[in-house]
Structure 1
Amino acid sequence: MTVKYQPVNAQESPRFSGIKTFMRLPYEKTAEDVDFVVAGVPFDTGGTFAVGTRFGPEAVRSVSSLLKPYNPGLDVDIFAYCSGVDYGDLDVNPGYIEDSYDRIANQLKPILDQAIVPILIGGDHSVSLPHLRAMAKRYGKISLVHFDSHGDTWDTYFGKKFSHGTMFRRAVEEELVDPSASIQIGMRGGLYGPDDLRDAEGLGYQVIPADRLKKMSAEELGDAIRSRVGCQPVFVTFDVDFLDPSFAPGTGTPEIGGFSTYEAQQFVRELKGLNLKGFDIVEVLPDRDPTKITALAAAGIGYEFISLIAWNKREKEAEVRAVLNRRR
């Protein structure tokens, strides 16, 4: 196939040159001739402790220039199958969470109307709610695959319904997700009480805490996810505090006892074959990490997401060819 949009060739243009887009993709605000778009969502008014994740998209783009088009872990040459662009940042209204939610969801509509897969870089985790609102308008109730150290199913924070700790309760209440086909992965750390975990299960989510996940292989997790979501459309959300602070110190609410970037790669690769409709990566707080390893981790997870899109497209094309060959 002819791919219209792909990264700048690093053997023709040094990686340290040019405007910083994700993976050195063309900066194009287009929904034509693309399979995926990468977009920043620079909003952090939903944060309850440290803020500054509005600068996350910029940091992730900056370090992503080292990413290369062939993913050996999934054995896929991304741009042999996919066309993609850096769509730039979605417009938000700093300080006004509900207005920003409306803006974010509305800007995703023309992308989703074309069945393009968005890869969204936050921003605090509260932005997942407008992402899910847009997804549900396009696809109906969606399955959520949620990597995090926190369940984010509080009812309120200081009496308010919207924060980065409440959005996955709101998503059930607003009938955006199908909790019976959704799964939360990696929860750990101190809680206000046992109800913090029970609340998520009471809403219908399956929860795999970190202690249980530590005893599972990547393949076992993949089986659990596939069994849970089936063929339903899937949205994947990845909070960088799923990772241990030694791998991702630049985040607002870190929890010890987490996972390595290698483990995260293996877990995410197990999503291949799912009906993947969108992704987000959230909670990169660059001011807390001058080493930039948190942004590097987030860029790497975004790369795995793009690779999954290419892997799925390759397999689908192979299935179509096999059907046509049988008919001959």
Structure 2
Amino acid sequence: MTTPVTFAAPHAFLGARPHDRGAAFCVAGVPLDIGTTNRAGSRDGPRAIRVAARMLTDGRHPVTGVDPTALDLSDLGEFEIALGDIPASLARIEEQAFGLNHLLAFGGEHGVTLALLRALVKRIGEPVGLVHFDAHLDTSEDNFGQRFAHGSVFWHAITEGLITPKRMIQIGIRAPAWPEMYDWTRGQGVTILSAQEVHESTPAAIAEQVREVLGSGPAYLSFDIDCLDPAFAPGTGTPEIGGLASWQAQGILRRLGTLDFRGADVVEVAPAYDVAEITALAAATIGWEYLCLMGAR
């Protein structure tokens, strides 16, 4: 069978076959955004990412030669949520994610990561290390009185024992935050790399530090698209200037193939604020890069 032209590619992510929960690798959208603290709209992120992924279906990875469409891959569509209810939505997301062999999820707000980590840790029976790309710490105990808003996801993940903090590294941090948040986060053992530190280093050096922090053992990747500078990802709810360039994120990710990743998410794409689809394409490419790592492994 010939490959369809780019503009006629299937709308499933990378043309993956639909709705097979038994696949080795699954993709799912998580259209929840009621815990955002600035601009809403990331509920539409999964669909935009799938459409933008059409650009990634015609060829192999330019460095490794991997074709992620050759993986045993299925697109499960969108997870169900409980309209207007964050805790109930997290419970539903956890239930739908539980039991999957390996999930790549597209948000949706960053709060969905808590449910995904709960499901993963319940399945594998131990906490994970975390590679966290973001402009924000996301370790607030609550956001404006809401305990499960998107800026508190990793406070919960750490306090619930889902993450081993000494095996957690945050990359690209640069947003305003209270000193107490930095003190608490570092006090748990988390490694924080600011965007400025990334700019003054190289992807190879940052990746080496990531590998040193994570070491061996199960790991998880959570990529908030606002880790990228708004020049490369304007379509997000909480943009922060001074962020990573797309090539920096790619350069780091491509060197993390030795980590024992058990799942990943790419979140906070809000296509209503996007320009020429560049944010959705960046998110789709991060997902594609991740699957290429899995294919190489």
Q: Name the TM-score class by shorter chain.
A: over 0.9
**Distance of 1:164 and 1:297 partners within structure 2:** 21
- CA contact under 8 A between 1:56 and 1:123: conserved in structure 2? yes
**2:75 is equivalent to residue 75 of structure 1:** no
The Cα of 1:290 is off from its aligned counterpart by 4.2
SS at match of 1:63: helix
- CA contact under 8 A between 2:127 and 2:164: conserved in structure 1? yes
**Distance of 1:210 and 1:54 partners within structure 2:** 27
The Cα of 1:195 is off from its aligned counterpart by 2.3
**Distance of 1:94 and 1:15 partners within structure 2:** 35
Residue of structure 1 aligned with 2:193, choices 197, 200, 208 = 208
Map of 1:170 onto structure 2: 156
SS at match of 2:89: helix
SS at match of 1:132: helix
Map of 1:321 onto structure 2: none
Residues 77 and 95 of structure 1: CA distance in aligned 2, closer, same or farther (over 3 Å):
same
The Cα of 1:157 is off from its aligned counterpart by 1.6
**2:47 is equivalent to residue 62 of structure 1:** no
**2:19 is equivalent to residue 29 of structure 1:** yes
The Cα of 1:18 is off from its aligned counterpart by 6.0
Question: Which amino acid letter does the alignment assign opposite residue 66 of structure 2?
Answer: V
Map of 1:42 onto structure 2: 31
CA radius of gyration, larger in? 1
Question: Which amino acid letter does the alignment assign opposite residue 240 of structure 2?
Answer: E
**2:83 is equivalent to residue 97 of structure 1:** no
The Cα of 1:35 is off from its aligned counterpart by 2.3
Map of 2:234 onto structure 1: 249
CA deviations over 1:13-33 (Å, ceiling 9, x no partner): 23333651111222x21133x
The percent of aligned pairs where both chains have the same amino acid is 38
CA deviations over 1:147-190 (Å, ceiling 9, x no partner): 00001000112222111000101011111110011111110033
Question: Which amino acid letter does the alignment assign opposite residue 140 of structure 2?
Answer: W
The Cα of 1:194 is off from its aligned counterpart by 2.2
**Distance of 1:232 and 1:150 partners within structure 2:** 25
Question: Which amino acid letter does the alignment assign opposite residue 210 of structure 2?
Answer: I
- CA contact under 8 A between 2:21 and 2:74: conserved in structure 1? no
The Cα of 1:196 is off from its aligned counterpart by 2.9
Residue of structure 2 aligned with 1:228, choices 203, 207, 213 = 213
**Distance of 2:3 and 2:65 partners within structure 1:** 24
- CA contact under 8 A between 2:132 and 2:222: conserved in structure 1? yes
Map of 2:5 onto structure 1: 14
**Distance of 1:137 and 1:155 partners within structure 2:** 23
The Cα of 1:285 is off from its aligned counterpart by 0.3
- CA contact under 8 A between 2:56 and 2:288: conserved in structure 1? yes
**Distance of 1:155 and 1:227 partners within structure 2:** 28
SS at match of 2:263: strand
**Distance of 1:120 and 1:30 partners within structure 2:** 15
**Distance of 1:232 and 1:240 partners within structure 2:** 26
Residues 77 and 290 of structure 1: CA distance in aligned 2, closer, same or farther (over 3 Å):
closer
**2:176 is equivalent to residue 190 of structure 1:** yes
Residue of structure 1 aligned with 2:114, choices 129, 134, 149 = 129
SS at match of 1:183: strand
Question: Which amino acid letter does the alignment assign opposite residue 71 of structure 1?
Answer: H
SS at match of 2:148: coil
**Distance of 1:19 and 1:227 partners within structure 2:** 39
- What is the CA RMSD across the aligned residues, in angstroms? 1.5
SS at match of 1:186: strand
**Count of aligned pairs:** 295
Map of 2:76 onto structure 1: 87
**Distance of 1:19 and 1:91 partners within structure 2:** 22
**Distance of 2:275 and 2:204 partners within structure 1:** 34
SS at match of 1:179: strand
Gaps of 5+ in 2: none
Question: Which amino acid letter does the alignment assign opposite residue 232 of structure 1?
Answer: G
Question: Which amino acid letter does the alignment assign opposite residue 155 of structure 2?
Answer: R
- CA contact under 8 A between 2:170 and 2:192: conserved in structure 1? yes
**Distance of 2:171 and 2:60 partners within structure 1:** 28
Question: Which amino acid letter does the alignment assign opposite residue 141 of structure 1?
Answer: P
- CA contact under 8 A between 1:79 and 1:310: conserved in structure 2? no
**Distance of 2:69 and 2:47 partners within structure 1:** 23
Map of 2:128 onto structure 1: 142
**Distance of 1:290 and 1:184 partners within structure 2:** 27
